[in-house]
Amino acid sequence: MKKLFIIILLFAAGISNKTFAQGDNAQARQQLHSFKIKAKLNPETGEVNYRGLSKPELQPKLNSLLNVVADDFIKISGDGVSSDKFEDYVRIGLTRFGPYYADLDLEDKKRICAYFTELMEDVNLESPDAILTNWINGYDPAVK
């Protein structure tokens, strides 16, 4: 009986680590809304040191695509949402960049992935590094 209790407890702990159970959903949503209004893909110096998009004319469209990902996260950021669900939305979000992929250089792709990481941090979830790395390297994010 004691072993069964321990197994159930371990199983429950594993499930709780895989769900979005942030105590303050309002804070996460506020961070996601703040993400949407900030300037993205502009030249940055300091810690980020990004020279800006290689094709600046794409900035409005790419900004919009990043904001759609934030909207997706806002929509699903309720209690009990699994990290797998967020990862599905990361894949969907990256797929939306497909029409522009060939126009992005390596630094642009890395910066876009940094924004995805920021969004994941906003909801207290680990970044799906493998998905992001694969996208940078040209693999289809829709393939699991």
pTM (two decimals): 0.81
Q: Give the tens place of pLDDT for each residue, 6-34.
A: 344 334 444 444 444 444 588 889 999 99
Q: Which residues of the chain have pLDDT under 70?
A: 1-24, 79
Residue 104's contacts (CB-CB under 8 Å, 6 or more residues apart) are 53, 54, 55, 58, 97, 112
pLDDT at 24: 58
Token pair for residue 94? 């990256």
pLDDT at 31: 95
Contact present, 65 and 47 (Cβ < 8 Å) = no
pLDDT at 13: 41
Question: Which listed CATH number (1.20.1480.40, 3.30.530.20, 3.10.105.10, 3.30.870.10) goes with 2-136?
Answer: 1.20.1480.40
Contact present, 12 and 21 (Cβ < 8 Å) = no
Cα atoms found within 13 Å of the Cα of residue 29, Cβ hemisphere only: 10
All structural domains of the chain with their residue ranges: 2-136
